[in-house]
Amino acid sequence: MDKKVKTFILIGLFILSIAAAGLGYNYLTERYKPENRLKPNAEETPSPEASGTEEPLESIPPESTNSQEEGEESEDLSPEAPDFTVFNADGNEVRLSDYEGTPVILNFWASWCSPCKSEMPHFNKVSEEYKRDELIFLMVDLVDGKRETVESGKRYIKESGYTFTVLYDTNQDAAITYGIRSIPSTLFINKDGYVEAGAEGMIDEETLRLGIDMILP
CATH number for 166: 3.40.30.10
Do 57 and 13 sit in the same domain of this protein?
no
Q: Is residue 122 part of a domain?
A: yes
Q: Is residue 188 part of a domain?
A: yes
Do 125 and 176 sit in the same domain of this protein?
yes
Total residues belonging to the chain: 217
Q: Is residue 70 part of a domain?
A: no
What would the pLDDT profile of 160-195 be if each residue is shown by its tens digit? Answer: 999 999 999 999 999 999 999 999 999 999 999 999
Whole-model pTM: value is: 0.71
Residue 74 has a pLDDT of 42
* The dihedral sign for the CA sequence 58, 64, 70, 76: negative
What b/e sequence results for 42-57 when a residue is b if at least 16 CB atoms lie within 10 Å of its CB, and e otherwise?
eeeeeebeeeebbbeb
Do 24 and 92 sit in the same domain of this protein?
no
Average pLDDT over residues 116-128: 97
d(CA 90, CA 50): 35
32 forms beta bridges with none
What is the residue range of 20's domain? Answer: 1-31
Q: Is residue 41 part of a domain?
A: no
Do 8 and 88 sit in the same domain of this protein?
no
d(CA 102, CA 189): 9
Do 8 and 83 sit in the same domain of this protein?
no
Residue 78 has a pLDDT of 78
Q: Is residue 159 part of a domain?
A: yes
End-to-end CA gap in the chain: 71
Do 99 and 173 sit in the same domain of this protein?
yes
Number of structural domains found in the chain: 2
Residue 217 banded pLDDT, cuts 50, 70, 90: confident
What would the pLDDT profile of 71-88 be if each residue is shown by its tens digit? Answer: 444 445 679 999 999 999
Q: Is residue 155 part of a domain?
A: yes
Do 82 and 181 sit in the same domain of this protein?
yes
Q: Is residue 11 part of a domain?
A: yes
Q: Check whether 10 has a pLDDT greater than 60.
A: no
Do 90 and 158 sit in the same domain of this protein?
yes
% of the chain exceeding 70 in pLDDT = 65
Do 18 and 57 sit in the same domain of this protein?
no
Q: What 8-state DSSP symbol labels residue 167? A: E
Q: Check whether 61 has a pLDDT greater than 50.
A: no
